[in-house]
Structure 1
Amino acid sequence: MHFRGITRIIGLLVIVFSLTMIIPGVVSVIYCDGGKQSIFQTFIISLLIGLFLWLPNKNNKHEFKVKEGFLIVVLFWIVLGTIGALPFIFLEKPNISITDAVFESFSGLTTTGATTLIGLDFFPKAILFYRQMLQWFGGMGIIVLAVAVLPLLGVGGMQLYRAEIPGPLKNNKIRPRIAETAKVLWLVYVLITIVCTISLWFAGMDLFDAISHSFATVSNGGFSIHDASIGYYNSSLINIIISIFLIISGCNFSLHFSLLTGRNLRVYWRDVEFKTFIIFQFLFILICTLILFYYSVYKNFGETVNQAIFHVVSMSTTAGFTADNFTKWPLFLPLFLMCVGFIGACAGSTGGGLKVIRVLLLLLQGVRELKRLIHPNAVYIVKLGQRVLPERIIETVWGFFSAYVLVFFISLLFLIATKVDELSAFSAVVTALNNQGPGLGDFTDNFTSLNPIGKWVLIVTMLFGRLEVFTLLVLFTPNFWRK
């Protein structure tokens, strides 16, 4: 392990993060409603930390191995999540504890969208914007942004990219060079954010709200700048616009790039994962609509469909926005909406969960095993579209699923051990591991009432979910640390 070289990279990335404080700093100057000092202090301290890590090691340049890339990614998320808590800690009013500040930082950075803050409507604009910006960077992965810049500083990015990009088929690159791939991803990301902002602005949000919620939408983060979330606007049009952009952000970004480079819309429907994703959306929306309509939860059919579409898309893409209190819906719907987050969005998207491609492969493998029970001597293959998948990919998916379940139950047991009731604990772990947002039981609106130990359990669980389990879990294996 080249620890000094790793320290150099972490220092560079922290310096890059410190420079992003300029943006909420400008917001604080424009609105003059507090938060300026908090942002300025964070900028100075994070810059000094970055320089402290980088300067003594600036000449330690090495070609990193894959396992060192994993370590850099995990260390950076931990360091950034910790430093990202500083604006909340330095804020004078309201007074936020260190645990709550770190929870908020990691929740934003991992695009979980769970919050411990109340009274958001009265927070300084700079802090609200910073909070939205955190999840926007976390959505695509600030590491991916960094690998587009670090090659200019003599740092290779392939190891970072492979550790950061989600999904079982992540070795497929849009461009031959990794830096070009990162730049292309961020170009697509920024363009979608701009279009989303303009759409929300024309739909009735003011410019600040439109920018803030476009950050949360495109990142599938789910933070809002209002306690009532999207329900604050009481607008069917805004609900639909956000739903559309959540679906766009829940797709593999390489498909969006293909469209922008001259391909037609057929590129989406040729993708098996995308088709499965859309079919799941229609199926879940249909179930939700029928139950809401049968129990006359809303006044008319149009409102029923609107609420069903919004909440199904929001929860299934793991954004976690709410336009109404869905926990009061009848029958199994609240728990159903929580569980659809396990499927999540597509690989190569900003969403969380298991990812649609993995769920699809698990289903295909399950069907193959059923066929083998009937014809034990027959040879069956697993095909994704016209592509025959090697057994190695199937084994990897099963391994990931097993690790996912293991982390889920360990986190659940730890949370219950802190005296959280079973339903609340279940929903909290689902929220954290799937990076989904709202919970049930005691955590319907926020996680303020959760005890400090429980919050730290969820912070670790969020990190497992965002880094897709293996990236973090591999650090706990003895082989990782052997030469």
Structure 2
Amino acid sequence: MQFRTIIRILGLLVALFSVTMIPPALVSLIYKDGGGVPFVLAFIFSVIIGLFTWYPNRNEKADLKAREGFLIVVLFWLVLGAFGSLPLIFLEEPNLSLADAVFESFSGLTTTGATVLTGIEFLPKSVLFYRQQLQWFGGMGIIVLAVAVLPMLGVGGMQLYRAETPGPVKDSKMTPRIADTAKHLWYIYVSLTCACTLAYWSAGMEWFDAICHAFSTIAIGGFSTYDASMGHFNSPLINIICVIFLLIAAVNFSLHYAVVANRSLKSYVRDPELKVFLFIQAALVLICFTVLSSQNVFETGDETLNQALFQAVSISTTAGFATDNFSAWPIFLPMLLIFSSFIGGCAGSTGGGLKVVRVFLLYLQGIRELNRLVHPRAIYSIKLGRKALPDKVVEAVWGFFSAYALVFVIIMLMLMGTGMDNITAFSATAACLNNLGPGLGDVASHFGDITDTAKWILTIAMVFGRLEIFTLLVLFTPTFWRG
């Protein structure tokens, strides 16, 4: 294990991350909110630690293997989540505990969107901007940005990319060089963010709110600058814009690149995962609309459709924005939407959850096993579109699902051990492991009232969800350290 090389890379990345403290400080100057000092202190502290870590190891540039790549990615998220909490720790108002600051930082960076804060609209503009910015950087994965803009890292980019990128098939690259791949991903990401910002502004948001909400929309994060989230604006048009960009951000970014590069929409039309994703979204909206209409929850059909569309897409894509208290909706809808977050977005998107392609493959495998019961001697292959998948891919998906379920049960039981009730423990685990945000019960609106122990457990759950279980779980195997 090339530990000094890993330390050198981490030092550089921390120094790079310190630059993200500057924009909130500038926002503080523009709005004169008096909240800039914590960000200046965090910048100085981070850049000094980063450079002091890098300098003694600056000449350590050994070739790294896949396992070093996994370790770097895990350490990267843990270290940056810790450094990201510094401005929140230095804040005088609100005065956050260590557990609260770390929870909020990891929630932002992992695009979970769970918050311990209340009275959000009364916070300094710099703090509001910083929370949204954390989600934006975490959305695509700041590692990919680092590989794109810091080729001097001297690390095999593919090792980092494979460990970072969500989804079961990670060896396919859009362009021959990994740095080019990362750059193209970010070009698309930035372009979508700009388009979303302009759309929000055109619909009536102020520039500050438009930028902040575009950050968390494209990142499928869910942080807002208001306690009422999107409900603050009370605008059906803003809701529709949010839904459109959430759906776009929940699609595999490789598909977006293929469409742009080929100047053709055929890639969308041919993609089986996208078809399944849109079918799931349509089914959820239809179910929500039907139940809400039958219970007369809203006064008009238009309002019912708008609320059903927004909440179904927001929760199922793991964004977690809110226009209404969906936990108070009738019958089974709250649980249905929480369960839909387990599916999440498409592989290669900024969404959380198991990913649509994995759930689809599990379904296809189930159908194959049923067919084998009827025709034991027949040979059935699982096809994704026109492509037959090797059994090892299906086995990997089953392994991932098993690990996901095991981690979920362990975290939920640990939360119940802290005194949390069943519904709260279940929904809090789902909200953090799926990088969703809002839950039910005591965490329906915020996570500020749960114990510090529960916050630390849920912080770990966020990291597990963001790194898709295996990337973190592999570090606990003896084989990883023996190689």
Q: TM-score, normalised by structure 1?
A: 0.99
Separation in 1 of the partners of 2:348 and 2:210? 25
Match of 2:331 in 1: 331
Match of 2:422 in 1: 422
Equivalenced residue count is 483
Query: Do residues 345 (structure 1) and 345 (structure 2) align?
Result: yes
Match of 1:378 in 2: 378
Residue ranges of structure 2 left out of the alignment (5+ in a row): none
Q: How much does 1:25 deviate?
A: 1.4
- 1:119-156 C-alpha deviation (Å, 9 max, x unpaired): 11110111110110001000000001001122144333
Separation in 2 of the partners of 1:149 and 1:158? 15
- One-letter code of the match for 1:281? Q
- One-letter code of the match for 1:28? S
> Which sits farther off after the overlay, 282-291 or 260-269?
260-269
- One-letter code of the match for 1:463? V
Match of 2:76 in 1: 76
Q: Is the 8 A contact 1:223 1:321 kept in 2?
A: yes
Q: Is the 8 A contact 2:361 2:397 kept in 1?
A: yes
Separation in 2 of the partners of 1:152 and 1:480? 27
> Which sits farther off after the overlay, 175-184 or 250-259?
250-259
Match of 1:195 in 2: 195
Match of 1:85 in 2: 85
Query: Do residues 319 (structure 1) and 319 (structure 2) align?
Result: yes
Match of 1:276 in 2: 276
Match of 2:96 in 1: 96
Q: Is the 8 A contact 1:147 1:156 kept in 2?
A: no
Alignment partner of 1:73: what SS? helix
- 1:422-476 C-alpha deviation (Å, 9 max, x unpaired): 0000000000100001010011100011100000000001000000000000000
- One-letter code of the match for 2:280? F
Separation in 2 of the partners of 1:123 and 1:325? 23
Matched ranges for 1:15-414 at <5 A = 15-414=15-414
- 1:10-33 C-alpha deviation (Å, 9 max, x unpaired): 001001100121111111110010
Separation in 2 of the partners of 1:398 and 1:35? 48
Match of 2:438 in 1: 438
Q: How much does 1:52 deviate?
A: 1.4
- One-letter code of the match for 1:349? S
Q: How much does 1:208 deviate?
A: 0.2
Q: How much does 1:171 deviate?
A: 1.2
Q: How much does 1:324 deviate?
A: 0.6
- One-letter code of the match for 2:248? I
- One-letter code of the match for 1:321? F
Q: Is the 8 A contact 1:320 1:438 kept in 2?
A: yes
- One-letter code of the match for 1:342? F
- List 4+ stretches of structure 1 deviating above 3 A: 152-155
- One-letter code of the match for 2:236? S
Q: Is the 8 A contact 2:353 2:465 kept in 1?
A: yes
Residue ranges of structure 1 left out of the alignment (5+ in a row): none
- One-letter code of the match for 1:86? L
- One-letter code of the match for 1:466? R
Considering only aligned residues, what root-mean-square deviation do their CA atoms show, in Å? 0.7
Q: Is the 8 A contact 2:259 2:266 kept in 1?
A: no
Separation in 1 of the partners of 2:382 and 2:396? 14
Alignment partner of 2:341: what SS? helix
Q: How much does 1:158 deviate?
A: 1.4
- 1:87-136 C-alpha deviation (Å, 9 max, x unpaired): 11100111111100000000000000000011111101111101100010
Identity %: 61
Separation in 2 of the partners of 1:30 and 1:205? 18
Separation in 1 of the partners of 2:413 and 2:155? 41
> Which sits farther off after the overlay, 219-228 or 14-23?
14-23
- 1:341-366 C-alpha deviation (Å, 9 max, x unpaired): 00000000000000000000000000
